[in-house]
Amino acid sequence: MTDTIPALLLAVEASTRALSVALFENGRFGDEIFLFDPGRGHAETLLPTLDGLLSRNGKKPGGLSALAVTRGPGSFTSVRIGLATTLGLAYPRRLPVHALSTLEILACEIEDRDAWVLPMLDARKGEVYAALYRPGQPLGEAAFGPLALSAKDVAESVLELADGPIVALGDGSLAYAEQLRGVSERLIIPTELQHPHARRLGERVLARLAQGVPTENAAPLYLRKPEAVVNLEKKKPG
């Protein structure tokens, strides 16, 4: 059984350094704004970007039918801003919110369904957020992860699972490209695919709705504790 395709879907990707919003009308892509580096924090730029996208397409928030948002992993602050803004738009209008993993959306940048895909986001402190998707894998099912590990540990783990070349993409793959290439030549790193896009999020959500595959709850997906929590725990008496 398929779910109803929303007449006007707004997709929000704000979990990384980049920022993008996309609009879909009756299941078809309409427009997207992608900002590689907004220059200011997402708290200042997300709402004006949303307003700009709706305005230039002759739409208003009251005309939305549903929203989509990435739920992480990513920057803790950015993930919270993306979710809070999306839920803030949806709640008073009682609109459905469809959330998906940022890693799943990043993986969608590789359109070759025969490829093993390894999306990696730079998690700082020598680690990446990563997951592995096998060729033809059902929507939302990862063969490995999502986990926060060193790039080397991720590479060694996925090489045991994959039986062919692996396309590693995202800013995490670029940050640790030398380490990854040192592990195996089977790891292919395209330099141009660094960030997830709201357009891919909207496409993935619509594909799930069409196939009757559930989306995820609009709650943050954290793969490790926020820095503030770690620092607080260090200060507690042992």
pLDDT tens, the chain, 238 aa long: 457 899 999 999 999 999 999 999 999 999 999 998 888 899 999 999 999 999 999 999 999 999 999 999 999 999 999 999 999 999 999 999 999 999 999 999 987 778 899 999 999 999 999 999 998 777 678 999 999 999 999 999 999 999 999 999 999 999 999 999 999 999 999 988 789 999 999 999 999 999 999 999 999 999 886 554 444 444 555 5
What domain range is 96 assigned to? 8-102+196-229
Same-domain status, 95 and 170: no
Q: Which pLDDT value is given to residue 193?
A: 79
| 73 and 118 part of one domain | no
Tell me how far CA of residue 190 lies from CA of 83, 174, 187, in angstroms: 29, 9, 10
- My answer on whether 32 and 65 are in the same domain is yes
Query: Is 97 inside a domain boundary?
Result: yes
pLDDT at position 194 is 87
- Residue 35 and residue 98 in contact, taking contact as beta carbons nearer than 8 Å: no
Specify if 82 maps to a domain.
yes
Looking at the fold, whether 145 and 220 belong to one and the same domain comes out as: no
Shared domain for 94 and 12, answered yes or no, is yes
Domain assignment present for residue 120? The answer is yes
Same domain assignment for residues 96 and 114: no
CA-CA distance, 166 to 158, in Å (whole number)? 9
The reported pLDDT for the residue numbered 166 is 94
Same domain membership, residue 26 and residue 44: yes
Q: Which amino acid is at 139?
A: L
Q: Tell me: do 60 and 166 sit in the same domain.
A: no
State the angle between helix axes of 76-90 and 42-56 in degrees (0 to 180), rounded to the nearest 10: 40
Q: How far apart are CA 22 and CA 17, in angstroms?
A: 17
Q: Give residue 174's pLDDT.
A: 95
Residue 136 confidence (pLDDT):
79
How many helices and strands (H and E) does the chain possess? 8, 10
Q: pTM for the complete prediction? A: 0.91
Structure tokens at 125: 């402190």
pLDDT at site 237: 56
Does residue 140 lie in a domain region?
yes
What distance in Å separates the CA atoms of residue 102 and residue 90, rounded to the nearest whole number? Answer: 20
Asked, for residue 169, whether it belongs to a domain, the answer is yes
pLDDT of residue 220: 96
**Number of residues assigned to the chain:** 238
What are all long-range contacts of 207-214, with beta carbons under 8 Å and residues at least 24 apart? 207/139, 208/98, 208/100, 208/139, 208/140, 209/2, 209/3, 209/4, 209/5, 209/6, 209/98, 210/2, 210/3, 210/5, 210/27, 211/2, 211/139, 212/1, 212/2, 212/3, 213/138, 213/139, 213/140
| Same domain assignment for residues 76 and 145 | no
C-alpha to C-alpha distances, 235 to 120, 222, 231, nearest whole angstrom: 32, 22, 7
Query: Residues 14, 97: one domain?
Result: yes
Q: What does the alpha-carbon distance between residue 188 and residue 172 come to, in Å, rounded to a whole number? A: 13
What are the C-alpha distances in Å from 88 to residues 61, 84, 97, 160, 177?
11, 6, 11, 43, 38
Q: What is the pLDDT of residue 225?
A: 62
Q: Domain count of the chain? A: 2
Q: What is the pLDDT of residue 236?
A: 54
- 98 lies in the same domain as 212: yes
Q: Is 237 part of any domain?
A: no
- Residue 234 located in a structural domain: no
Within this chain, do residues 86 and 15 fall inside the same structural domain, yes or no? yes
Does a structural domain hold residue 236? no
Q: What is the CATH number of the domain that holds 54?
A: 3.30.420.40
